[in-house]
Amino acid sequence: MYNKLLKNNEIRFSVAPMMDWTDRHCRAFHRVLTRHAVLYSEMVTSAAIVHGDREHLLSFDGCEQPVALQLGGSDPRELAEAARIGEDFGYGEINLNIGCPSDRVQSGRFGACLMAEPALVADSVAAVQTAVSVPVTVKCRIGIDDQDEDAGLQHFVETVAAAGCSTFIVHARKAWLDGLSPAQNRDVPPLNYDRVYRLKMSRPDLRIEINGGIASLDECQEHLKFVDGVMLGRAAYQMPWTLADVDRRFFGALDGLADRFEAVEQFYPYIRHQLDRGVFLSRMARHMLGLFHSQPGGRVWRRHLSENTHKPGAGLDVLKDALDMVRAAARPAIAAE
């Protein structure tokens, strides 16, 4: 299914890589909501994969496919080795992080600071491509600091594309590496969607996907007039029900979930399996807190999960009780109609 999604003339919808958020349980939940979105891992450094606990860092459930592994690093040989290990674990795409602005990442010389080193990114792409057979993609910004958003981005993309990368996911704002926190760097530098559209116009042969500040599927639809794909981050995580309409809207699916209650119930088998493996309910439930966002009962749902899923022995009953509470909270609203 994954390669079908990467065919040149087909659009792609993805959920962004987000540290501490898009872990395996989050992805399993998102997969209940959409069969077609590509799901990204959190960023994992190549050094951690090569030298650390691979099973812990990389293992996932087959139900999450198609899943892309995002790597952070700047040593082409180490990246290639990490990518090969990732492919063995079953990831269907290797994505290089050239957009993350955090200090920790800068000191390791990877992430957004590599926008200033296109030749090194090109070498990394070439090395990774030699090591794996799955697609290799790059997630970047439109620039960093005082880089020229036109010439700088064009040079970066041309150089990396010449090394064989044909898919770029572009967060449509600069990263300012001095003085802004990572969170501020996701909001403060202004968005420039037009720059990403122009990148696509200048290189129609490349797949250009857009990311940053996209709040709804209506907005996605608008972007897709100009680019090949959209990537949603915070909106998908904080309002996961947004994902429930992706398959119908963008991939021609005729079926889908009836409502949010069904989404939770369809997640039960996965949760049961994980509880049997000794995973705490809270590890999974934390990704579901926003499911009833701005719905009647949304607050009750969030509170019941926050207060109860971490308790020893917490199981599916906590979720069933929470759903009952949401139904009860929603009843006065329905009765009043």
Among 32, 39, 43, 163, indicate the residue that binds ligand FMN (CB under 6 A): 43
Inter-helix orientation angle 316-336/260-276, to 10°:
170
What count of other Cβ atoms lies within 10 Å of the Cβ of residue 2?
16
Among 97, 137, 147, 274, indicate the residue that binds ligand FMN (CB under 6 A): 97
Task: From 6-14, 227-235, 277-285, 317-325, give the range in contact with ligand FMN by CB under 6 A.
Answer: 227-235
Q: Which is nearer to ligand FMN, 31 or 171 (CB)?
A: 171
Spot the catalytic one: 100, 140, 165, 220: 100
171 binds ligand FMN (CB under 6 A): yes
Among 5, 6, 11, 18, indicate the residue that binds ligand FMN (CB under 6 A): 18
Binding mask 106-145 for ligand FMN (x = CB under 6 A): ---------------------------------x------
Among 92, 143, 189, 213, indicate the residue that binds ligand FMN (CB under 6 A): 213
Catalytic-residue membership of 220: no
Among 135, 233, 290, 298, indicate the residue that binds ligand FMN (CB under 6 A): 233
Task: From 57-65, 233-241, 305-313, 329-337, give the range in contact with ligand FMN by CB under 6 A.
Answer: 233-241
Among 5, 12, 13, 17, indicate the residue that binds ligand FMN (CB under 6 A): 17
Q: Which is nearer to ligand FMN, 45 or 309 (CB)?
A: 45
The overall longest dimension of the chain from CA atoms, in Å, is 64
Report the nearest approach of ligand FMN to the CB of residue 262 (Å): 26
Q: Which is nearer to ligand FMN, 142 or 264 (CB)?
A: 142
Among 45, 70, 242, 309, indicate the residue that binds ligand FMN (CB under 6 A): 70
Question: Contact at 8 Å (CB) between 97 and 70?
Answer: yes
Give the binding site for ligand FMN (CB under 6 A).
16-21, 42-43, 70, 97, 99-100, 139, 171, 186, 211-214, 232-235
* Residues marked as catalytic: 100
